[in-house]
Structure 1
Amino acid sequence: MDRARAAAVGDPAAAAATARAPLDAHSVRRIGVFRALMLGDLLCAVPALRALKLGFPQASITLIGLPWARTLVERLPQLDDFIAFPGHPAWPEQPADLAAWPGFLSQVQSRRFDLVLQLHGSGGIANPLVACFGARRAGGFYVPGAYCPDADLYVPWPDSGHEIDRLLRVVDRLGVARQGRGLEFPVQEADRCALERVWPASRRCAGEYVCLHAGAQLRSRRWPVARFAAVADHLAQQGCPVVLTGTPAEAGLARELQAAMRHRAVDLVGRTTLWELGALIEGARLVVSNDTGVSHIAAALHRPSVVISSGGDVARWGPLDRGLHRVLWCDLPCRPCSHELCPSGHECALAISTEAVIDAAQLCLTGEIEHVPQ
């Protein structure tokens, strides 16, 4: 009995061997990757993208993602092209532009991808969507018992593990060798020069200043501003210039933070591009932030950080190097949480004291940390 027939009649070993048959790398010239998420989510996908690029060296890889990601794609060496996804009514990352959907699908289908990978999530909504892309083959995640477009190239959605490792399971299924778990955020000299135009003291203060990032996409993920202010004042009293970072939408939050501080901070909230922000973090002595995209940039650039995780899944999203990065969190039955605003008393955030963050920051500043290579 041949292996395919044996699999069909229920031979477990034959089924496993058939399901894991690798693709012929030379036949794959156009790969699409669907991951329409935010900054930290995309940076966690870099190890999988790196493996894909080396595993399919003749292929052009296109990210299908949210419009903001075009800037990231233009710099990451693992990606060659970009298609903007107009959003979906069921997903919160951006409002859906339904009028743009016909043009979007036409653009994706015109690429005639040899392979599309659904790296967006478990696949309940994403898999039927990706099936409309018109690719020759598709792979990614699915929930057992739910729709699975291609049993050979899809893997069951894992309920545990770091996001980097989850995504690498799809790479494994393709028969591609892993190329490490490290993140990348390629800052260039032009970015450092651009930052200097925004903040002329950036080079002179490199290695001395501390970046504080009090924002997060969800308000439930934000540690109290008053506690950030107390940490900032302590660091300023220690002689560290404090630099506030954030998006233009978080300018009000920065004003509230500065008003609560006794010392003056350098307010760069909303004043830097993505790559200027990278140059800023690259020169920081320490980053103190909520569990958001900035913490992943710090991890990619190997800058020490203190991350306050309010409601997040630390095992899934926390930095891998727990020596260089200190993650503070409180284990509660309600986490992980996806609420915009905490429906109870924000216990996960309030459980992290100002003193705990200051102590963690002091350990980083004095070098009393054990670096664990990724």
Structure 2
Amino acid sequence: MKIPPSEIKKIAIFRALQLGDMLCIIPAIRALRHAYPKAQITLLGLPWGKSFTERFDQYFDNFIHFPGYPGLPEQELDKAVFTNFLKQVQDEHFDLCIQMQGNGSVVNPMVELLGAKYMAGYKIEGHYAPDDGLFMTYPDQGHEIERHIRLMEFLGIESQGNELEYPLTTSDYDALDALQFDIEPKKYVCIHPGSRGSYRQWPVKYFAALADYCIDEGYKAVLTGTKEESDIIDAVISHMRHEPINTAGKTSMGAVGVLIQNAAMLISNCTGVSHIASAFKTPSIVISMDGEPQRWGPLDTRVHRTINWLQSPDFHLVFRETVELMSLAG
């Protein structure tokens, strides 16, 4: 390793993004934890990230809310809170801060202000990065999971595999049981028509058609989504011939995890739930609407089928993949 474990007692990870983005760094964080088993690892992230660190408490010890920064679209900058954030992080006296947000063009100057003894991460030509030998040129190709594993390897940290994880607790199973949905394991298909950004959402009529097909084949169709996605789910239902089970806004992320773990299949946009299905090896049909299926689609192409809709906008192709995958799942 470029930095021996004896020098690293406290590590900060900067990645202020959403669920799917965060799940994709878990294999890299697993390697980091293996390399520095006694270090305290703190996530600097979006407010919801606290629950993420609690779910992945085998890898993360602490959480600090990152209040935004100019040029980052995920949340509006709160200048006063940002000043307090800087002081809070500086007072932690981190031994190592790893920038895992992206290519570094926007945030590397800020990362240096965090005051860690060592700083590491990504850089690109023509933009500032600390000149300490711990910033690698951003690999603007390949899968998101592999990009972060490559960063660990650049730091001399051995990979611990590229498999995703999604830990579940007893309370997650209890939360789903309390909702008393009329379902049995492997006897239903999860349909997730929502996603952040309307440009990433497959037309609802297609989700409806596949949901009806699943019901015709003897499965129940369970529509999943947040309260904010209720309109999308209602639109799917309006196009259906059969009645699905609507769970929109009723389930915690833990309960959704249990639903996906026990489902016969997931059909979704390329979003956070597709990575949960990958973690559980639940067969899935994933519709990529952003033109980057090679970056965000599940790695196992036998269990998971990712369709690049921008390249092949053919519902019959998706239907054939669904039929084939269902035959394998059954």
Task: Using structure 1 for the length normalisation, give the TM-score.
Answer: 0.85
Q: Which amino acid aligns with 2:178?
A: R
For 2:256 and 2:297, the matched residues in 1 are separated by 20
After the TM superposition, which residues 1-374 of structure 1 pair with which residues of structure 2 at under 5 Å, given as runs?
Answer: 22-76=2-56, 77-202=58-183, 205-330=184-309, 348=310, 351-367=312-328
What do residues 25-52 of structure 1 show as CA deviations (whole Å, max 9, x unaligned)? Answer: 1110000000001111110000110000
Q: Which amino acid aligns with 2:145?
A: I
What do residues 141-173 of structure 1 show as CA deviations (whole Å, max 9, x unaligned)? Answer: 000232111331110011211111111122112
Residues 122 and 357 (structure 1), Cα distance of their counterparts in 2 relative to 1, 3 Å cut: same
For 1:198 and 1:300, the matched residues in 2 are separated by 24
Contact 2:94–2:117 at 8 Å: present in 1 too?
yes
For 1:280 and 1:362, the matched residues in 2 are separated by 21
For 1:296 and 1:178, the matched residues in 2 are separated by 19
Contact 1:305–1:326 at 8 Å: present in 2 too?
yes
Contact 1:33–1:119 at 8 Å: present in 2 too?
yes
What do residues 5-32 of structure 1 show as CA deviations (whole Å, max 9, x unaligned)? Answer: xxxxxxxxxxxxxxxx711111100000
Shift of 1:227: 1.2
Q: Which amino acid aligns with 1:305?
A: S
Question: Secondary structure at 2:55's aligned position in 1?
Answer: coil
Question: Secondary structure at 1:36's aligned position in 2?
Answer: coil
Contact 2:265–2:329 at 8 Å: present in 1 too?
no
What do residues 321-363 of structure 1 show as CA deviations (whole Å, max 9, x unaligned)? Answer: 0000001114xxxxxxxxxxxxxxxxx28x4333222221121
What do residues 210-261 of structure 1 show as CA deviations (whole Å, max 9, x unaligned)? Answer: 0001111011111101111111111111111001111221111111111111
For 2:181 and 2:308, the matched residues in 1 are separated by 36
Shift of 1:312: 3.5
**What 5-or-longer segments of structure 2 have no aligned partner?**
none
Q: Could you say which structure has the larger radius of gyration?
A: 1
Contact 2:283–2:329 at 8 Å: present in 1 too?
no
In the alignment, what sits opposite 1:7? none
Shift of 1:91: 2.0
Worse overlay, 109-118 or 80-89 = 80-89
Q: Which amino acid aligns with 1:159?
A: D
For 1:96 and 1:212, the matched residues in 2 are separated by 35
Question: Secondary structure at 1:74's aligned position in 2?
Answer: helix
Task: Using structure 2 for the length normalisation, give the TM-score.
Answer: 0.96
Shift of 1:187: 1.4
Contact 2:175–2:252 at 8 Å: present in 1 too?
no
> Identity of counterpart residues, as a percentage?
40
For 2:225 and 2:79, the matched residues in 1 are separated by 29
Question: Secondary structure at 2:34's aligned position in 1?
Answer: helix
